[in-house]
Structure 1
Amino acid sequence: PKMIKDYPPAKSPELQKYISDLGMNIVRANKLEGNPYHYNFTVVDVVDVNAFAMPAGTIFITAPLITLASNEAELAGVVAHEIGHVVARHTAERMYIMEKSQNKTWLYAAGGVVVGAVVGYGLGRALCSDGDTKCQQQAALAGGAVGAAGGLLAQKYTFMVNSREDEMEADRLGFKYAVGAGYDKNQVGKFYEKLLEIEKKANKSGGTVLKSLSDAMSTHPPSEERVKQMNELAAQSTAKQAITSTPEFNKAKQIAARFTKK
């Protein structure tokens, strides 16, 4: 109940149907439903850019993350990554360890937790080229509210963060599942490239974006490592070019943006 209060479902049947359809398409295409888990996908109405998986197939995607994705294949890569955590039992294993040690603080941080509090005006300045107002507006839309409030829930809970090995495994599984569902192999890992650009531009400017990212990046593989792996997987894949985006994604992104304007 406490977690539901802090991570309430976004009140948009259309948005919920979209993320459920996207997630279940990936699940069914890879014959994962009931094998052994039954999956459900929910968009949650919080300010963080975040995605996380609970044991047994429950996966949450925040509305701001959807607004940050550039296309449906990119979003599918994030969702598939979370499915990878479920399949590999990463969260369940950490839950067992936590219970065994009698530590009862509960929030399961998944591998898709990648940006958190950094999205906002700082992201626009770090990621977009000078004069690219469209890019800056998109970044501000995705994270305007996040810059101030993001990360508060992370401080409130003790997060069960996956190891670097777990993250890399979930990336590999996520690539397999997203491409297996028909998404463009060259797009499903683009979210990681976006993070790499944030790092590089923040490094050049010595900016606050990288400082804000430091806690999250310390518990997740460096962006360089993840991008390299995804590029290698794409190069090795024999899959043909496939789905990059859909009109449904564009509509869902517009709806999700409404939840970032608080």
Structure 2
Amino acid sequence: MFNLLFSRFRRSHRWVYPVLSLVVALGLWLGQPLVVRAIPWGDLILQGIQVIQLSNISDRQEVQLGQQINAQLVRSQIRLHRDPRVQQYVDSIGQRLASSSSRPNIPYTFQVVDDPSVNAFATMGGFVYINTGLMRLADNEAQLASVIGHEIGHVAAKHALKQMKDMALARGVASLAGVNRNTLVNLGVELALRRPNSRNDEFEADQLGLKTLTQAGYAQSAMVSFMAKLLQRSSSVPTFLSTHPATSDRVARLQQMIDPSRADVGDGLDNAAYQARLRSLS
């Protein structure tokens, strides 16, 4: 009886077996993990950093980017002064100012560029550069400190970062996927050497620099006197001014911010001591 029933079941339900086979095969296929192109974790982390660099970069990331920009500058764009005494002297002034700045929580690096042109510039992450030509033009240490304080003001206000973001967007190299780190470094080098700051950025750096100069114990009058000296130096525009526009307006604003009765209160106004220091360093 059982054999008869089973024979009839097989004849009437032959279609069941192919269907069952298909269901089993489909279940096995769906149960397997999908094979996709794996993205290395390093690439994912790098992409994340690139996105942050254009939106919300941390202090640590800014310093790292500044280190890479500095390495490229030193390797192929500028020549640092070889006398370590000169570097130490400028660094001592810079560190004194940086500790009194509005952004003392990042490491600052102050370097002397062996270049006779009158210039100074800064890039992100606390890297500040002073040309030997500017050092020789300054009458005293306070004037030199006023320039360093101004450049620290640019770092404190993150002007280079803002310019980098604007430039990346304008050139179409920024996207949702981020920006290649090498591209950012190249943009940073270009900004440091050839990109002038806006009028508002200069005013802000002057204001921050003057405050830093005062808090570090230097005489406020030095900032105005050195800037006025640059304007009167020659009919041609010095390099320092070509990348720092609206200098006459800046002098007027600085004069308004300084209390005349306190202008010469502070360190660094001894011209003879500074010139003797420079002679010993040359």
Paired residues for 1:205-220 under 5 Å: 209-210=234-235, 212-213=236-237, 220=244
Higher helix share: 2
Write the deviation string for residues 42-90 of structure 1: whole angstroms up to 9, x where unpaired. Answer: 0011232111011010000011110000111111110000000001111
Q: Do structure 1's residue 7 and structure 2's residue 42 form an aligned pair?
A: no
Return the match for 2:190 from 78, 103, 107. 107
Return the match for 2:135 from 66, 72, 84. 66
Task: Determine the C-alpha separation between the residues in 2 that align with 1:52 and 1:238.
Answer: 28
**Residue in structure 2 matched with residue 253 of structure 1 by the alignment:** 278
Task: Determine the C-alpha separation between the residues in 2 that align with 1:219 and 1:21.
Answer: 26
Distance 1:74 1:216, change over 3 A: closer
Distance 1:59 1:225, change over 3 A: same
Paired residues for 1:163-174 under 5 Å: 163-174=198-209
Q: Is the 8 A contact 2:222 2:269 kept in 1?
A: no
Q: Is the 8 A contact 1:26 1:177 kept in 2?
A: yes
Distance 1:241 1:197, change over 3 A: same
Q: Do structure 1's residue 183 and structure 2's residue 218 form an aligned pair?
A: yes
Task: Determine the C-alpha separation between the residues in 2 that align with 1:78 and 1:217.
Answer: 12
**Residue in structure 1 matched with residue 252 of structure 2 by the alignment:** 228
Structure 1: any 5+ residue segments left out of the alignment?
110-156, 199-208
Task: Determine the C-alpha separation between the residues in 2 that align with 1:15 and 1:215.
Answer: 22
Alignment coverage as a number of residue pairs: 196
Give TM-score scaled by structure 1 length: 0.66
- Segment of structure 1 superposing worse, 89-98 or 233-242: 233-242
Task: Determine the C-alpha separation between the residues in 1 that align with 2:232 and 2:130.
Answer: 22
**Residue in structure 2 matched with residue 23 of structure 1 by the alignment:** 94
Task: Determine the C-alpha separation between the residues in 2 that align with 1:225 and 1:177.
Answer: 20
Task: Determine the C-alpha separation between the residues in 2 that align with 1:97 and 1:21.
Answer: 34
Write the deviation string for residues 88-115 of structure 1: whole angstroms up to 9, x where unpaired. Answer: 1111111222233238553234xxxxxx
Task: Determine the C-alpha separation between the residues in 1 that align with 2:135 and 2:264.
Answer: 25
Q: Is the 8 A contact 1:52 1:82 kept in 2?
A: yes
Distance 1:190 1:44, change over 3 A: same
Write the deviation string for residues 126-161 of structure 1: whole angstroms up to 9, x where unpaired. Answer: xxxxxxxxxxxxxxxxxxxxxxxxxxxxxxx6x121
Higher relative contact order (CA 8 A, sep 6+): 1
Q: Is the 8 A contact 1:26 1:181 kept in 2?
A: yes
Q: Is the 8 A contact 1:9 1:42 kept in 2?
A: yes
- Segment of structure 1 superposing worse, 235-244 or 51-60: 235-244
Give TM-score scaled by structure 2 length: 0.62
Larger radius of gyration: 2
